[in-house]
Amino acid sequence: MQFQNPKPTWLTGLGLLTLTGIGVLGIGGPPAKFAQTPGSADISTLQRDFQNPPDDSKIMVRWWWFGPAVTTQELEKELHEMKDAGIGGFEVQPVYPLTLDDPIKGLVNFRYLSPEFLNAVSDVAHTATQLSLRMDMTMGSGWPFGGPQITPELAAEGLTCIRIPIPEGARTIAGPSLKEGQRFLAAFVASGDASHYDSQTARQIAPQMDGTFEIPPSSAGPRVLLFLVAGLTGQQVKRAAVGAEGNVLDHYSRAAIEKHLDTVGGPLEQAAEGKIRAMFCDSLEVYGADWTGDFRNEFKRRRGYDLTPLLPALFDNAGAQTAAIRHDWAQTLSELLNEKFLEPFQAWCHAHRVLARVQAYGTPPAQLSSYRFVDLPEGEQGDEAGHWNHFTASRWASSASHAYGVPVTSAETWTWLHTLSFRATPLDFKAYADQYFLEGINQIVGHGWPYSPPGVPEPGWHFYAATALNPHNPWWFAMPDLALYLQRASFMLRQGRPANDIAVYLPTHDALAALTPAHTNLWDSIWKQLGPDILPSLLEAGYGLDFIDDEILAHNARVGNGKLVIGSQEFPIVVMPGIERTTPETLAKLAEFAQSGGILVATRRLPSLAPGFHQESQTAEIARQVDELFNKPSAPGHYVPTEDQSLENELTRLHLPDVAFSPRSQEIGFIHRHTDAAEIYFLANTSNHRLQTTATFRVSGKHAEWWNLFTGEVTPAQSAPDSQGAALKLDLEPYGSRLLVFTNRKTPEPPGLKPAQLPEPLDMSREWQVTFEGREEETSMDALRSWTEVEGIKFFSGRATYMKKFFAPPPFLQKGIHAVLNFGEPTALPENPKGHYQAALDGPVREAAEVFVNGRRAGAVWHPPYELDVTDYLRPGENELRIVVGNTAVNEMAGGPLPDRKQLTARYGERFVDQGNNLIEALPSGLLGPIRLLPRIQATDEADQ
């Protein structure tokens, strides 16, 4: 990590990340800064730690404190529940109230930062330490940063152009009345009307002593007075807790963040007594914030010219230089965000011995390299439908981590999953987490865990726009299994270093030039500049990729042996997707890369402009550099005018893909990590149907092994040498995933015992005795059916126990036979490309089953292929099978009234609106079958993983 200020001494040499991950995220002692490691652990150590991964790779959750109306007793109880579920930490985020004060019931909304609230923070910090849980804090309530301490002079500001038609023949005109907090910047007369004007005709005029404006004579047709003002955006903290209401702070003002740090950060850190691991800055989302009090002075100091006479160009076309002016304005905003907000926030965190965890994208216009002021880069979903192979905030964050040597990248995960709270299933969580893993994420922060007091009707309190991760889900018994899967994947995806082939140079300058007042989301603008096709096509072609920008190239990149070395990565390929604006310095670095043997590919168009206004000399230099790089006969660069098959053909001609799939599919993704001892590949089928393909890995001289993320088992994989590497057949169930590890060792083949004849499958779909939780009577099910079809059970949410006795046929007990309890095949549902993410699959188990054979737990079933190996649990003769099934909490919600928020809204205002209430309905639940005991032969093929 590159520190802009001297590196704090407490960050030096403390808790550096090792391959086993020990001591990085623990909260005992001072928090440690991550450091990239070469990955030198031997394969046996890596396997042992994979099977029992360290606690710091466990998922975390965002813990919403509503009100906050919390009690020490309930907080401690929920911490223990997190621990028991396999969750390794939490982030406290106080938000809006869900109850009126009712002291008799123990429901009292503590004011934010009150002694009572801070006592709760202190109690949680101590209990978390005792339980070895990581503790983060949102530095504020809701988002963005702000609150009652943010006075108008410290609040977010925006730029506005008020347009007043000038009456024909008028010699003077009065300016508009300013609203409170607005201030006059400049006025112009331009041709046009209130809906459209010509900025090229804009002429600045000054107010007269009486506040009116003298209008110069003209016969050019209708004219308009352009009145430029700066003023408060008026944005308030979103989802604020009681006592945390107020203005969003000005993210371009050092005084504003320092006020927030002193007023909010100080009391939180003091209450936790040094036990907070990281302070968290949630989504920026400072809408309309595109100005600050001293902006014009800062602009002139940085850009070298006065913006005032050019202000109309920010709002309408002012000719050929419009984009250049807008670029300089947006670039200045970005620099101010870095220097006046992110840098002081990180410096405060270091001074108080905590880490700075930030989601650095959105509005204000954070650049990729803004993450250099962040210790723990964080992303989230970039697309509500879960398009992992597009331009996402998570790949943005992981790219920054890789560039700055931070081995752990977190993501706010599962926001809006299935829209309706408590509707998400374990399969939903797993399927969406896999997509985050494909984007380079290796620390899940579940969104989230709703605090819920005792006595509240089931399923308890929940956040308006998120999944609910807590024991109020009837399927919660499967959470430890899901958490262990996620923990193992997170651990393995931290090992060694990322091994991506392509560095995608982002069109940052083009995106800055496209921004306008009130529309300053740089991340979104970059996405539009990239277009929808290039990233999916590169990934489908078998290349891993990261993003880079000018700052990273200038300060974190070097060229060596035909590679662009950034952090611990060595990129053989750089792609410039449709770049129009770049700097001579960037082109010089890329020319050095290409001349050393690196592969530089430009698509769509060649760079032709230097970014910014009055850059004629630099633009001429760019023309010369581009000619040398791409146009001359001996030019080392490659230009591909389109981003279709011709781009892929050019890349594969120049450099073999890391993984080549045949047949191809955009629905299969992979991510590759390299260590001294292993090549690690995580593969995932992101679709709701089975995919069969052959994958050829660019690996030679090593042995392939399947490392089972659910069981920890390691078995050899059957690979065939290929001229391009190692070829393996893949058979991936819907939303299936695999961990493939290439090592130097040869794993022994399992005993090749094959019975003379396989026994016939045993149907077990009939004659079940079912007992529903909270009900004494048994229900006989001669044939399996949904609970919604059982009288009196339609709106039941909870658990039911299925009991059955059966005789195991002797052939199932012979050596070489694996007895697999299969619950049936899932049904694919129509995909939901425009909606919030969900696994488009109805399984035969709704939604999770815990299987006990002869009183011993055999495992949990909640994802394809919906089966469980029970070989070791069977015995000769009679066997007892007990299956506990949990559904979602939605059925009970469907059977009762919706929450009445009228009194709450009357007391506190409308701070949120429940989402997804139109989706509440009783869902199929239970075991739907058919259930069979199937014989299998021990195999090493990946399909049996």
Name the band, by pLDDT with cuts 50, 70 and 90, for residue 832.
low
Sequence-distant (6+) residues with CB within 8 A of 787 are 772, 793, 794, 796, 800, 887, 891, 924, 925, 926
Name the band, by pLDDT with cuts 50, 70 and 90, for residue 318.
confident
Residue 225, SS3 per DSSP: strand
Name the band, by pLDDT with cuts 50, 70 and 90, for residue 747.
confident
Q: What is the pLDDT of residue 465?
A: 84
Q: What is the pLDDT of residue 942?
A: 45
CA distance 247 to 144: 9
Specify the range with the lowest mean pLDDT, choosing from 11-25, 420-434, 878-892: 11-25
- Check if the beta carbon of residue 33 is closer than 8 Å to that of residue 355: yes
Bridging pattern class, strands 720-722 and 725-732: antiparallel
What radius of gyration, in Å, describes the C-alpha atoms of the chain? 30
**pLDDT > 90 fraction of the chain, expressed in percent and rounded:** 85
CA distance 860 to 481: 7
- Check if the beta carbon of residue 574 is closer than 8 Å to that of residue 581: no
Q: What is the pLDDT of residue 12?
A: 33
Sequence-distant (6+) residues with CB within 8 A of 610 are 581, 582, 583, 584, 618, 619, 621, 622
Give one DSSP letter per residue of 797-847, joined into a string. -SEEEEEEEEEEPGGGGSTTEEEEEE----EE----TTS-----EE-SEES
217 vs 26, more confident = 217
Res. 599: pLDDT tops 60: yes
Average pLDDT rounded to a whole number, residues 842-862: 98
Consecutive H or E run containing 347: helix 343-351
CA distance 851 to 65: 35
Name the band, by pLDDT with cuts 50, 70 and 90, for residue 5.
very low
Average pLDDT rounded to a whole number, residues 582-598: 98
Query: Angle at the Cα of 474 (from 838 to 448), degrees rounded to 5?
Result: 55
CA distance 888 to 890: 5
Tell me which residue of 401, 333, 328 sits closest to 366, measured CA to CA.
Answer: 333
Q: What is the sign of the dihedral through the CA atoms of 307, 554, 353 and 84?
A: positive
CA distance 746 to 704: 8
CA distance 786 to 793: 10
Q: What is the pLDDT of residue 797?
A: 98
Here the tokens at position 138 are: 């949102």
Res. 34: pLDDT tops 50: no
CA 508, 509, 514, 517: dihedral to nearest 10 degrees?
90
Tell me which residue of 887, 904, 868, 709 sits closest to 787, measured CA to CA.
Answer: 887
**pLDDT > 70 fraction of the chain, expressed in percent and rounded:** 93
Packed helices 584-595 and 616-626: angle between N→C axes, nearest 10 degrees: 10
CA distance 85 to 480: 5
Tell me which residue of 394, 396, 401, 351 sits closest to 375, measured CA to CA.
Answer: 401
Res. 674: pLDDT tops 70: yes
Tell me which residue of 772, 8, 634, 733 sits closest to 347, measured CA to CA.
Answer: 8
CA distance 722 to 700: 9
Tell me which residue of 10, 5, 7 sits closest to 32, measured CA to CA.
Answer: 10
Q: What is the pLDDT of residue 194?
A: 87
Name the band, by pLDDT with cuts 50, 70 and 90, for residue 816.
confident
Name the band, by pLDDT with cuts 50, 70 and 90, for residue 938.
low
SS (H, E, C) 642-692: CCCHHHHHHHHHHCCCCEEEECCCCCEEEEEEECCCEEEEEEEECCCCCEE
Side chain identity, residue 619: T
Query: Angle at the Cα of 738 (from 715 to 727), degrees rounded to 5?
Result: 75
Q: How far is CA 263 from the centre of its chain?
A: 29
Q: What is the pLDDT of residue 945?
A: 43
Strand-pairing partners, residue 157, are: 232, 291
Sequence-distant (6+) residues with CB within 8 A of 752 are none
Average pLDDT rounded to a whole number, residues 305-320: 94
Average pLDDT rounded to a whole number, residues 450-457: 95
- Check if the beta carbon of residue 407 is closer than 8 Å to that of residue 56: no
Specify the range with the lowest mean pLDDT, choosing from 745-759, 830-844, 858-872: 745-759
What is the DSSP code (8-state) at residue 609? Answer: B
Res. 763: pLDDT tops 50: yes
Res. 522: pLDDT tops 80: yes
CA distance 945 to 711: 9
Name the band, by pLDDT with cuts 50, 70 and 90, for residue 941.
very low
Tell me which residue of 756, 697, 684, 746 sits closest to 723, measured CA to CA.
Answer: 697
Tell me which residue of 847, 925, 939, 926 sits closest to 891, measured CA to CA.
Answer: 925
- Whether the model clears a pTM of 0.85, i.e. scores above it, the answer is yes
Reported as a single tens digit per residue, the pLDDT across 771-807 is 999 998 999 999 999 999 999 999 999 999 999 999 9
| Backbone dihedral angles phi then psi of residue 136, each to the nearest 5 degrees | -115, 160
Sequence-distant (6+) residues with CB within 8 A of 160 are 182, 228, 229, 230, 231, 517
Q: What is the pLDDT of residue 381?
A: 79
Average pLDDT rounded to a whole number, residues 64-79: 98
Reported as a single tens digit per residue, the pLDDT across 93-130 is 999 999 999 999 999 999 999 999 999 999 999 999 99
Res. 27: pLDDT tops 70: no
Q: What is the pLDDT of residue 752?
A: 60
Q: What is the pLDDT of residue 755?
A: 60
Q: What is the pLDDT of residue 835?
A: 61
CA distance 590 to 636: 10
Average pLDDT rounded to a whole number, residues 25-29: 33
Q: What is the pLDDT of residue 14?
A: 28
Sequence-distant (6+) residues with CB within 8 A of 485 are 430, 709, 710
Count other Cβ atoms within 10 Å, centred on residue 633: 4
Average pLDDT rounded to a whole number, residues 421-429: 96
What is the average pLDDT score of the chain? 92
Name the band, by pLDDT with cuts 50, 70 and 90, for residue 6.
very low
b or e along 702-714 (b: 16 or more beta carbons within 10 Å of the residue's beta carbon)? Answer: bbbbbbbbbeeeb
Specify the range with the lowest mean pLDDT, choosing from 643-652, 663-672, 776-785: 643-652
CA distance 511 to 533: 17
Specify the range with the lowest mean pLDDT, choosing from 167-171, 447-451, 801-805: 167-171
Q: What is the pLDDT of residue 386?
A: 57
Q: Looking up tokens 């330490």, which residue turns up?
A: 129
Q: What is the pLDDT of residue 382?
A: 55
Which phi-psi region, left, alpha or beta, contains residue 147 (left: φ > 0; alpha: ψ -120 to 50)? left
SS (H, E, C) 852-918: EECCEEEEEECCCCCEEECHHHCCCEEEEEEEEEECCCHHHHHCCCCCCCHHHHHHHCCCCCCCCHH
Q: Looking up tokens 């005992």, which residue turns up?
A: 28
